[in-house]
Structure 1
Amino acid sequence: MKKIFSFLFLQFFVFSIVFCQNQKIDGHPAWIMQGNIYEVNIRQFTEEGTLNAFAKHLDRIKKMGVQTIWFMPINPISVVDRKGSLGSYYAVANYNTVNPEYGTMEDFKNVVKKIHKLGMKVIIDWVPNHTGCDHPWLDSHPDFFVKDSTGKPASMFDWTDTKQLNYKNSEMQDSMIAAMKYWIKKTDIDGYRVDVAWNISGNFWKKCIPQLKKIKNVFMLAEGDSSYLPKSGFDAVYPWHMFHVMEKIAKGTLNAWAIDSIRKQTEKRYPANTIQMYFTSNHDENSWNKADYETFPGAVHAPFAVLTQTMAKTVPLIYGGQEEPVLRPLKFFDKDPMEWGKYKRAKFYQTLLELRKRNIALAPNASFKKISVGNDKAVYAFVREKAGKKILVILNFSATEQNITIKDKTLHGTANNIFMGSTETLSSKKWKMEPWGYAVYEY
């Protein structure tokens, strides 16, 4: 009888794990709904530039509140037509192996296991639009590639270290899907950030993504903001329209109310359950466009970072190094390691990430209500609410002090100021918010 009970208990335990792993909310993996993403540039993260060296940071990253690790491409980089001394991470030489500069396949599998043991998830950067210039498919399957006017494999834009893949070739499509399945099965990753997803047809993604999700309840993030991407199966997209508005507000060329205009436009553009990944920096924006050290400099960074963490229908991104912060552009084609030790923003991010984790009012599908608490050209304020939980966010997107008055009586009463760590009684009494100030209240 004991053996039968033990067997039944084991079956129930296994079923429970599988059920939790496959649980969905609004069609998305349940674990991403109050989650966040932390992008890792293995080459520059440490002096060694290896997976094992990065793994030494996992405990502090977990402590900061990170929930999903996004690794930039971990595949080998092509040597032919390479840019710089080490080449672009996105010029992939082989889809099925690990870049030897970073370590071995076993190293990567061990890092994934450690991340999972810490209760976090893993997604990897995938580059399906093009390969590097010495990828074996160029010899074995030349028909897998788009041809230029001379009949040679073509490059897009000035990406001369890559060759563009031909998605009219069904065998190439199947080979790409097989490679993506391989990493899920072999390494137990939890999803993909897909590079240049916007240049590949929705028909392919409608074919690919369901096959991946049959293996595991993976999270799919598309680099792109076209409406066909979420309609084709992606869980999340990039918020380029909003990001560029944020940049202009930071420069003073747009007012705070521009946020609402873009928010309403995107609501019309996407299916209702679409998630957008908000950020103040990422690998491209850092290396090429001076983010966030010039786009959101100094005190300007904070209110925009709070917006990325609290806005409706979003999952927030932190680019590894922002917590230090690294205030320079990292080289893209050469070794240029970060220096760690100050972690000046770590507590700031931790406060936001922990709030998001514990309070369902910050889930993408929680309600959003814009409110006026002062000069709407300078101050952007809103309320998030779900299942009896409520969050009030007030952001001063200007270089001048602003008067704040909470007129909505439903917001009066006791609330926790998450950054001050104090309980306050909110009322219609006027108070002042410093330039580029911010406040988040939890009810």
Structure 2
Amino acid sequence: MKKYSLHFLTLVLAGICACTPAENGNKEAKKAEEPKEATFPQLAGNMTIYEVNIRQFTPEGTFKAFNEHLPRLKELGTEILWFMPIQPIGEKNRKGTLGSYYSIKDYEAVNPEFGTLEDFKATVDKAHELGMYVILDWVPNHTAWDHPWITKHPEYYAKDSLGNITYEADWTDIALLDHTRPETRKKMIDAMRFWINETDIDGFRCDHAGHEIPLYFWEEATAALDPLKDLFWLAEWDEPRMHLELDATYNWSILHATEDVAKGKHTADELYESIEKDLAHYGHSPFRLLMTTNHDENAWAGTVFERYGEGHKAFAVFTFTIYGIPMIYSGQEVGLNKRLAFFEKDSINWHDEKGLTDFYKKLVSLRKNNAALWSGQYGGVPAKIDVDNENVLAYSRKKDGNEVLVILNLSNQQQEIAQNAELSGSHQNYMTGEQVDLSGLKTLKPYEYIVIIK
């Protein structure tokens, strides 16, 4: 231990005594005023999620090849990269030639088709250097039939009435796990811990988060893993209870409601009714994932052009501005115009023939720079503006002096609108740069969208 001279100690004591109670109080007040560094979910409040399909992203289908795209994705403005499962895929009962990402053969290994564990670490590190975050698609619901647990720990699995390990629906390439068993939950959490410790990922997109998985699994998982690192949790599930433990949930209901409007089955007014019901059900605080496409929609339901037609941009504006946290799927920003094969190699064409990159870049920037559009409690609540036309949706969101006004014609026909006191003055349409006289706005072109920052 260091020995201090009496003279030094005297000086220190004198300095302490010299501080008056008022000065001490001022110091404490100043310390209290210092802004705290944001953590998840607040940290993600103004971010956009980007789903990465490694197999189809490049002709090589590897992490190293994907890394060349990272600067472009940074330029696009997306900040959370969600990687579809990167583990080895089961061979027993495999679907197609390459199999499903979601048939996991080994939770703590990397699919050799994509590269090595060190390759993935390098990808995460490069993303972090660019100020981006990485969340890993996690599949706790089931494994492949040739996962070692099948023979070593059959007690981890769900059984049918005859005692045989079972599977879900027609997904014959997967074996269903039983998370009512403590040992199953423990092994699963251990595997998740591996990826945080070994690769420094920033969270998980939780596949089938509520299907055959009790909520207490997520209670145990977050309790065990959150102390390791500030993590973001996205649940592929549309149920309020998930928000007791996780940060964001899928808004399947609004996705399908937009598709119904695009097909002419419902009106824009009915879409807004769905929004009101969703907010009443979930409240204003939870993050709700909004999108017009993802790997499932693209592969099984069709491209955005098949499902939304010429209205794909108007519905994208809707998902980026109404509320929640938006997502872009691999290739969406360059007009992905084919259904990517799910079990085969089917590379994305990165030629932006429709010129959509700037469009999506504008949307990402719009949310990032306008607090009114941030997610959950960090943004403003949408307020509908009556324009007396069931096919036109107009709304505004306000937060901390920031207001964003959105007017959308969600039909393929020209629409007339009634004047409203909230529609006044001449403003610049953020999306086009053109001036719009709201006071004289009477008609909207098919699928026209107007976004005004006040």
TM-score by length of 1: 0.90
Q: CA deviation at 1:138?
A: 1.0
**Map of 1:385 onto structure 2:** 398
Q: Offset at 1:271?
A: 4.5
Counterpart residue identity of residue 428, structure 1:
S
CA displacement at 1:275 relative to structure 2: 0.9
Q: Which amino acid aligns with 2:359?
A: F
Give the secondary-structure state (helix, strand or coil) at the position aligned to 1:368: coil
Distance 2:437 2:407 in 1: 13
**What are the residue-to-residue correspondences of 1:10-409 with 2, within 5 Å?**
20=37, 23-24=38-39, 28-199=40-211, 200-231=213-244, 233-297=245-309, 299-312=310-323, 314-342=324-352, 344-364=355-375, 365=377, 366-372=379-385, 374-404=387-417, 407-409=420-422
Alpha carbons 1:86, 1:334 under 8 Å: kept: yes
- State the AA in 2 paired with 1:281: T
Distance (Å, rounded) in 2 between the aligned partners of 1:110 and 1:438: 41
SS of residue in 2 equivalent to 1:296: helix
Secondary structure of the residue aligned to 1:186 is helix
Q: Which ranges in structure 1 are unaligned for 5 or more consecutive residues?
A: 1-18
Partner letter of residue 332 of structure 1? Answer: F
> Taking structure 1 as reference, are residues 416 and 116 closer, same or farther at Cα in structure 2, changes over 3 Å only?
farther
Q: State the partner residue of 2:32.
A: none
Q: Distance in 2 between matches of 1:148 and 1:291?
A: 37
Instruction: Give the drift of 1:413.
Output: 4.0
Q: CA deviation at 1:134?
A: 0.6
8 A contact 2:138–2:207 mirrored in 1 = yes
Which residue identity does 2:407 align to in structure 1?
I
Instruction: Tell me: CA distance 1:109–1:377, structure 2 relative to 1, closer, same or farther (3 Å).
Output: same
Report how far residue 153 of structure 1 moved: 1.4
Q: CA deviation at 1:417?
A: 1.8
Contact map agreement 1:127 1:195 (CA 8 A) in 2: yes
The structural deviation recorded for 1:149 is 3.1
Deviations 1:178-233 (A, max 9, x none): 111111121111111111102111111112123222111211111110121112x1
Q: Deviations over 1:275-308 (max 9, x none)?
A: 11000000001101113121112x2101110011
Q: Displacement of 1:318 after TM fit?
A: 0.7
- Listed as ranges, the gaps of 5+ residues in structure 2 are 1-35
Question: Are the counterparts in 2 of residues 368 and 382 from structure 1 also a CA contact under 8 Å?
Answer: no
Instruction: Confirm or deny: 8 A CA contact 2:383 2:397 kept in the other structure.
Output: no
Contact 1:282–1:319 under 8 Å retained in 2: yes
AA aligned opposite 2:114: Y
SS of aligned partner of 2:334: coil
Deviation at residue 404 of structure 1 after TM alignment: 4.1
> In the alignment, which residue of structure 1 is the partner of 2:20?
none
Q: Which residue matches 2:14? A: none
Based on CA coordinates, which of the two structures has the bigger radius of gyration? 2
Q: Assess if the C-alpha contact under 8 Å between 1:373 and 1:407 holds in 2.
A: yes
- Alpha-carbon distance, 1:372 to partner: 3.1
Do 1:403 and 1:432's aligned partners in 2 also have CA atoms closer than 8 Å? yes
Distance 1:86 1:375 in 2: 52
When normalised by structure 2's length, the TM-score is 0.88
Instruction: Count residues with an aligned counterpart.
Output: 416
Q: What SS does the corresponding residue of 1:109 show, helix, strand or coil? A: helix
The answer (yes or no) to whether the contact 2:303–2:336 under 8 Å persists in 1 is: no
AA matched with 1:265: K
- Local SS of the residue matching 1:327: coil
Tell me which residue corresponds to 1:7.
Answer: none
Q: Contact 1:248 / 1:254 at 8 angstroms: preserved in 2? A: yes
Query: CA separation in 1, counterparts of 2:363 and 2:438?
Result: 24
Counterpart residue number, 1:11: none
Q: Is the 8 A contact 2:426 2:439 kept in 1?
A: no
Deviation per residue, 1:246-301 (Å, 9 max, x gap)? 1110000101111221112112222541111000000001101113121112x210
Is residue 230–residue 271 contact of structure 1 (8 Å, CA) maintained in 2? no
- Per-residue deviation, residues 158-192 of structure 1 (Å, max 9, x unmatched): 11111000112101101111111111121111111
Q: CA–CA distance in 1 between the matches of 2:118 and 2:429?
A: 45
% same residue: 41
Q: Counterparts of 1:198 and 1:105 in 2: how far apart (Å)?
A: 29
